[in-house]
């Protein structure tokens, strides 16, 4: 009887092992039953890049592997130039290594490399390295608002620069930031708004234009 029980246990373990093995094989090879782009997409999701037939899909798969490994050398397995530049940019971002941006030949991805590392670390000096004018301005503006530095708004011309300063003043309820506006009237409009926003009547006395100062005081007297 004891022998029979032991034999049943052994058989149960063996059968269970076979079932699990069959399930593993089925899961591991599940992509092979697909065709065309569906098969490539399946292998892409599984990060089995070597089994992908489409070159672009395979190269994009390698980008994901490089990010996981955080290894720029993996990017050199990519055959498509702009995807390789994309890969370098991704590794620079995930490792927070700005020096890697120098390895990027593609202007678009080079600009993105400088931009993303600038934004992620509030490193405004990297904004100057961006060739695309709109992206460069957005870089300075984003960091200016993030760290409340009105001096960075000077990199934005005209109304855009003034609006940048005004946003910083309002967001931080900092009446001193109003001084960075170019025109005295705009400075006073800014001061009135900060006084109202901060519910501080004493700030009204800092308003130089009489009409605006009275408007500020009336707000608190009404």
Q: How far is CA 122 from the centre of its chain?
A: 12
CB 175 within 8 A of CB 195: yes
Q: Are residues 166 and 218 in the same domain?
A: yes
Q: Could you report the per-residue pLDDT of 152-169, keeping only the tens digit for each?
A: 999 998 999 999 999 999
**The total number of structural domains that make up the chain:** 2
Q: Are residues 97 and 188 in the same domain?
A: no
Q: Could you report the per-residue pLDDT of 106-115, keeping only the tens digit for each?
A: 999 999 999 9
pTM of the model: 0.79
Q: Are residues 186 and 99 in the same domain?
A: no
- Residue 193 has a CB neighbour count (10 Å cut-off) of 18
Distance (Å, whole) CA 143 – CA 27: 47
- Residue 33 has a CB neighbour count (10 Å cut-off) of 10
In this predicted structure, which of 49-63, 89-103, 137-151 has the lowest mean pLDDT? Answer: 49-63
């Amino acid at each position: 009887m004891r022998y029979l029980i032991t034999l049943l246990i052994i058989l149960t373990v063996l059968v269970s092992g076979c079932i699990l093995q069959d399930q593993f094989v089925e899961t591991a090879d599940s992509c092979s039953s697909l065709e065309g782009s569906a098969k490539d997409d399946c292998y892409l999701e599984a990060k089995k890049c070597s089994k992908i037939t489409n070159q672009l899909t395979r190269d994009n798969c390698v980008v994901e592997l490089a990010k996981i490994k955080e290894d720029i050398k993996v990017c050199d397995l990519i055959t498509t130039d702009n995807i390789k530049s994309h890969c370098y940019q991704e590794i620079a971002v995930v490792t927070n290594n700005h020096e890697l941006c120098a390895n990027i030949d593609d202007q678009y991805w080079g600009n993105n490399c400088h931009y993303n590392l600038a934004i992620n670390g509030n490193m405004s000096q990297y904004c100057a390295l961006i060739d695309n004018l709109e992206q460069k301005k957005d870089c300075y503006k984003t960091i200016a608002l993030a760290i409340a530095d009105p001096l960075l708004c000077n990199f934005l011309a005209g109304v855009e620069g003034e609006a940048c300063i005004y946003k910083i003043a309002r967001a931080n309820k900092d009446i001193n930031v109003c001084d960075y506006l170019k025109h005295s009237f705009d400075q006073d409009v800014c001061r009135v708004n900060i006084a109202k926003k901060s519910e501080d009547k004493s700030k009204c006395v800092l308003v130089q234009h009489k009409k605006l100062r009275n408007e500020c005081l009336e707000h608190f007297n009404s």
